[in-house]
Amino acid sequence: MFLSIDLLRSGASRAVASLFLGAGLLLVSGCATPEPPQVKLEQANILPLAINPDFTFRKKTQFLNDPATYLQATTPSEAVDFERRYYMWPATTQLDKDALRGNYLNFFWWNHGQPADVTVRLEYRQANLGPFVMAREKTYSAVKGSRKTQFTIIGDDYLENGPVTNWRCLLIVDGKIVGLTQSYLWK
């Protein structure tokens, strides 16, 4: 009698454990949503400005990954060397390395309000194009909370048109600009 109750309990505890494991895996896989692809726009249309305090940029970083521009310091910084290796991974041939050369721009932003469909647009100018404005977009659906968006201008875009000279990043909801940040040189 006691043996069958112990077997029943161990079977029940295995079922509960597998249920929690399954639920945990489902939650973790839900957090790992893939980054949407960046879409290169032919022309950046002008949108109305309707700044909303619920949508804010909290941090921005940019990195120029071009060995031709690296300064040779007498005491190299391990952090800077790590970042250079990070952006060059997994390139092994010179062709692979050329495909990863260019500008990497990271924008950290959040939505404090209700979930909304948000388009993040990067408008930028490159050295060889003069005043011509290029644009790229990424679209997210039902966003609430903190997000990171990375734009890359690398490979042929960088090698032919040069480095990014100035930029601005927009958060767009329902065809209106609800948040923006820009580089110092943007006009």
Identify the pLDDT of residue 14: 62
121-167: per-residue pLDDT in tens?
999 999 999 999 999 999 999 999 999 999 999 999 999 999 999 99
Evaluate the CA torsion angle 69, 100, 123, 31 in order and state its sign. negative
* Residues 84/139, Cβ–Cβ less than 8 Å: no
Average pLDDT over residues 48-73: 93
pTM of the predicted model over 0.85: no
Residue 120 CB-density burial (10 A; 0-12 exposed, 13-18 middle, 19+ buried): buried
Q: Which residue has the tokens 């767009």?
A: 172
Provide the greatest CA pair distance for the chain: 86
| Nearest CA-CA partner of 104 in 82, 127, 81, 88 | 88
Q: Which residue has the tokens 């930029």?
A: 167
β strands within 127-175, DSSP E: 134-154, 164-173
Identify the pLDDT of residue 72: 79
Identify the pLDDT of residue 73: 73
155-175: per-residue pLDDT in tens?
999 999 999 999 999 999 999
Token pair of 86, please? Answer: 């990070």
Q: Which residues is 60 bridged to in the sheet?
A: 107
17-56: per-residue pLDDT in tens?
555 555 555 444 445 568 899 999 998 899 999 999 999 9
Token pair of 5, please? Answer: 């109750």
Identify the pLDDT of residue 161: 97
